[in-house]
Amino acid sequence: MNLFFLYKRRIILIGFFIVGAILRLWDITEHSYWIDELYSAARAIPEKDLLDVYYWGPEPHPPAHYILLWISYNLFGYYEIVGKLISAIAGILCIPAIYLLGKTMFSKAVGFNAAILLTITPALIYYAQEARAYELLVLFSILSSYFFLLIQVKKTYFYTFLYLISSIILINLHFYGVWILAAQVIFISISLCKSLNKKDMIFYLFTSCIIFASYIPLISQMIQAASRGTTWIQGIEITTYLFEAFSAYFGSANMFRPYQVIEISLVGLLFFALFAISFTKLSVNKKLSKGFCYISLVFFFVYIVSILLEVLLAPMFNNRNSLPALPFIILVIAWGINQIEIKRIYVLSSIGAFLILANVNFYNNLERENWRGVIKQASTIESPYKNKNHIYVSAWEGEWNVYKRWLDIDDMEIIGLKDLQIENYEQDDLVWVLWATIQPQDLEHNKTILDNLTEVESIEANRAGLIQYKISK
């Protein structure tokens, strides 16, 4: 009988693995890159030298994702789909990875529940189709944690090597990966203080030094990025950030619909109730105690420390950055399902149904910036004036040239708005300007130019667009 259930569980896991792959690959090229994705593609152009990809000015993110993009572009060609496929594959691999982590941290049943829940979690489907580092960040948060817990039981060279590699990649994908390493350092420090094992102390000190040594070449770049601060993160409202986080993880693009508020509130209450219940059982279960101690430390650094730094230094917390905590939220819910006395399949099915509903709701309300469509439309513009082959952009002209290259558009020149020479135009001549993400009034260096322009018409394509101006000098 046990053998039967073992094979049954494996078949179900394989089935959900296939479902997860379909969800993450379905219509993967449907949506255009948005500005951050274009930035990634521009940084990783295959003609660049690897060192140029590694060092890219005062960049706020470490270079691992860009290096992976660059390698992939050189191997498979400079195509739009390549960047998205990297994230999709990472998202698919998250399914078996969280099963292994759940099994190691709690039990096979918890790993099984977590794998099913992660398969249909809306946020992880969304970021699996985005050519940015976030899905990889989730994957390596899981893998680093898994190998970290594993080497405490099986301290072999092989597992130690895998832990080092996964952790080095993790912190070089995104600065929030450091919080996972910080949780590990505190966790092992507490454990070693109890045992006073000098051999283990030296081992973990050595591995930590190797991991953080990977940051040494980036120190100057990190200082520049820190001194520049963040201009696009607006800060958070402490009173609403938890709701917003859960909405981003499990909700929809339109999270303020009444039923959406109810859905997210229920998931939030379920999570916190399960987290509270877990502490009533810690004293009687050593494995459970270790698992929840580690999860608590992850939450502490990702949420509490991040918010404290935000209050003290500069805005840095947003829902994308906090994604390393999401697999651990899923693990708490998966553990809670396993504690329910009634048939667990009913509970799992109910939560699964909620997540499926959230996915449907999410995609029905999803709006992405359609810069691909805008560039396509721009290439068809016919104008009697001398600017017919010129499109001026408010910023990041290199990023827009990526789509120009992908769409094979040769007869259109993309120029920075700052280089627009009003004196080269006559009264009532027309120019097209592509406003990228930021509003015209926010661009200090363009104010003089704007004083000489009068808006005529615009081309819209899902939150992206071109505006035609008349010269009125």
Greatest Cα pair distance in the chain: 85
216 or 72: whose pLDDT is higher? Answer: 72
Task: Name which of 397, 400, 401, 390 is nearest 430 in CA terms.
Answer: 390
| CB 103, CB 338: distance < 8 Å | no
Backbone φ, ψ for residue 206 (5° rounding): -65, -45
Taking the C-alpha atoms of residue 432 and residue 417, their distance in angstroms, rounded to an integer, is: 10
Nearest C-alpha neighbor of 294 from the set 278, 272, 270? 278
Rg (Cα) of the chain, in Å, rounded?
25
- Among the residue ranges 52-61, 124-133, 257-266, the one predicted with the least confidence is 257-266
State which residues form the domain around 397. 371-471
Question: Do both 386 and 286 map to the same domain?
Answer: no
Domain co-membership, 414 together with 307 = no
Give me the sign of the Cα torsion angle 403, 405, 407, 409. Answer: positive
CB 179 within 8 A of CB 324: yes
Question: pLDDT band at residue 11, thresholds of 50, 70 and 90?
Answer: confident
285-306 pLDDT tens trace: 677 778 888 998 998 888 888 8
Domain count, the chain: 2
Question: Tokens 């379909």 — which residue?
Answer: 22
Cα distance between residue 182 and residue 165, in whole Å: 16
Q: Do 160 and 35 have their domain in common?
A: yes
Domain shared by 222 and 354, yes or no: yes
Q: Does residue 390 sit in the same domain as residue 341?
A: no
Residue 471 pLDDT > 50: yes
Looking at mean pLDDT, say which of 166-170, 188-192, 247-251, 343-347 comes out highest: 166-170
Domain shared by 28 and 128, yes or no = yes
Do 332 and 194 share a domain, yes or no? yes
Average pLDDT over residues 185-200: 80
At 256 the pLDDT is 42
Residue 256 CB neighbour total at 10 angstroms: 9
Sequence-ordered alpha helix ranges (H) in 177-321: 177-195, 198-213, 219-228, 241-250, 258-278, 286-299, 306-312
Contacts of 292 (CB under 8 A, 6+ apart): 275, 278, 279, 282
Confidence (pLDDT) at 96: 95
Query: Is residue 427 domain-shared with residue 358, that is, in the same domain?
Result: no
- Asked whether the predicted pLDDT for residue 5 surpasses 80, the reply is no
Residues 377 and 360 in one domain: no
- Model pLDDT, residue 98: 96
- Check residue 14 and give left, alpha or beta (phi > 0: left; psi -120 to 50: alpha): alpha
Residue 407 clears pLDDT 80, i.e. is over it:
yes
Q: What is the pLDDT of residues 153-192, one digit of tens each?
A: 888 889 999 999 999 999 999 888 999 999 999 998 887 7
Report the side by side order of strands in the sheet with 465-471: 413-416, 390-393, 430-434, 465-471, 453-460
Check whether residue 360 and residue 375 sit in a common domain.
Answer: no
Question: At 44, phi and psi to the nearest 5?
Answer: -105, 25
- Its pTM stands at 0.86
* pLDDT given at position 130: 92
Residue 195: how many other CB atoms lie within 10 Å: 9
Q: Are residues 282 and 208 in the same domain?
A: yes
Strands 465-471 and 453-460: antiparallel
Between CA 81 and CA 90, with CA 87 as vertex, the angle to 5 degrees is 135
Which pLDDT does position 254 carry in this prediction?
Answer: 46
Average pLDDT in the 265-270 region? 59
Comparing 142 with 222, which gets the higher pLDDT?
142
